[in-house]
Amino acid sequence: MDAVTQENLIYDGIKFPKIAHTEDSLNYTRHEFQVRDDDVFNVTYPKSGTTWMQEILTLINSKGDTVPYKSIPSWERVPWVEQTTGRGFLENRPSPRLITSHLPAQLFPKSFASSKAKVIYTVRNPKDVCVSLYNYCQITKFLECIENFAEFHSMFIKGDVIYSSWFDHVSGWLKMDQTNVLLMSYEGMLQDPRGSVLKICKFLGRDLDDAPIDSVVENTSFKNLKNNQMSNYTLVPEEFMDHKKGSFFRKGISGDWKNYFTVAQSEQLDQIFQEKMNDFNLKEKFMWD
């Protein structure tokens, strides 16, 4: 069997893994995909809580009923629009559609601008994103595996990783300061899972009773997602992921970067953060560090 490709595609200056993206899939998403007013988008830079949000949205949509969550893989229930499978999953799907995307704002479907669709953008401390992505690259066979953390760190801060620069991705979305875009943080969700689910429900106009809210919160805990075959990526064949090397649901904590970063590496990232992100007050807002 041929080895799985680890190549990337550069589209409009952004790096996409070729395993799941083509020029066509990205062109289609940007220019042809028809956003509907009742679409709900889960948008993230990778490793920021994408899967967690996919499952929260699924369970809010089913009013806490766990059948879809336990019977359909997350990537089919809340598919990535930009991937080669996105069109087939989404084009004829009845509303309301739950849609995932790692796209930077400038490559998002153009039809979003004139729609009432909602976007939930989740942001995570970039130092933990860097560590999570580094570990993910060790277990996947479709991403270039950089074993040396110092080398990976330097690629991350330069934006030479999949989906390119964290700083550009986050600042691009934060500039979309409009009422149909909700900003969530991974750390805020960790600190107050129930309050976070209630906030999402309010944003979506979904008024759920206590029992369904309890179900959303309980079923989307790290432990329960790690054990749910439809969320935990153990269904991905060995050809694409080496499950013996580690789990997609790795630690699920904030601050693990302290076990990886040197003081110099932390300061280097802080400096770029200062230059590129200072306008947004994210550190204070989300209690990073």
Q: Does 225 bind ligand PPS (CB under 6 A)?
A: yes
Number of Cβ within a 10 Å radius of residue 174 = 18
CB of 168 to ligand PPS, least distance (A): 17
Q: Which is nearer to ligand PPS, 222 or 280 (CB)?
A: 222
Q: Does 46 bind ligand PPS (CB under 6 A)?
A: yes
Of the candidate residues 125, 220, 228, 232, the single one contacting ligand PPS (CB under 6 A):
220
Number of Cβ within a 10 Å radius of residue 189 = 22
Q: Does 8 bind ligand PPS (CB under 6 A)?
A: no
Q: Does 135 bind ligand PPS (CB under 6 A)?
A: yes
CB of 275 to ligand PPS, least distance (A): 25
DSSP string for residues in 249-267: S----S-GGGGT--HHHHH
CB of 42 to ligand PPS, least distance (A): 9
Q: Does 42 bind ligand PPS (CB under 6 A)?
A: no
Are 180 and 117 contacting, i.e. CB atoms less than 8 angstroms apart? yes
Q: Does 265 bind ligand PPS (CB under 6 A)?
A: no
Are 68 and 7 contacting, i.e. CB atoms less than 8 angstroms apart? no
Q: Which H/E stretch holds residue 14?
A: strand 14-17
Q: Which is nearer to ligand PPS, 115 or 224 (CB)?
A: 224
Q: Does 25 bind ligand PPS (CB under 6 A)?
A: no
Q: Comparing C-alpha atoms, which of 178, 147, 170, 150 is closest to residue 268?
A: 150
Q: Does 125 bind ligand PPS (CB under 6 A)?
A: no
Q: Does 167 bind ligand PPS (CB under 6 A)?
A: no
Q: For the packed helices 210-219 and 193-204, what is the interaxial angle rounded to 10 degrees?
A: 120
186 vs 207: CA distance, rounded Å: 23
Of the candidate residues 221, 234, 266, 268, the single one contacting ligand PPS (CB under 6 A):
221
Q: Which is nearer to ligand PPS, 6 or 115 (CB)?
A: 6
Q: Which is nearer to ligand PPS, 46 or 126 (CB)?
A: 46
Q: Which is nearer to ligand PPS, 28 or 136 (CB)?
A: 136
Q: Does 49 bind ligand PPS (CB under 6 A)?
A: yes
Choose one: 164-172, 215-223, 260-268, 281-289; the region binding ligand PPS (CB under 6 A): 215-223
Q: Which is nearer to ligand PPS, 244 or 278 (CB)?
A: 244
Choose one: 85-93, 214-222, 266-274, 278-286; the region binding ligand PPS (CB under 6 A): 214-222
25 vs 43: CA distance, rounded Å: 17
Are 242 and 139 contacting, i.e. CB atoms less than 8 angstroms apart? yes
- E-strand ranges in 87-168 read 98-101, 118-123
Q: Which residues are catalytic?
A: 102
95 vs 134: CA distance, rounded Å: 36
With helix as H, strand as E and coil as C, how does 217-237 read?
HHHCCHHHHHHCCCCCCCCCC
Q: Does 130 bind ligand PPS (CB under 6 A)?
A: no
DSSP string for residues in 42-92: EEESTTSSHHHHHHHHHHHHTTT--HHHHHS-HHHHS-BTTSTTHHHHHTT
The residue ranges that bind ligand PPS (CB under 6 A) are 44, 46-52, 128, 132, 135, 190, 220-222, 225, 249-252, 256
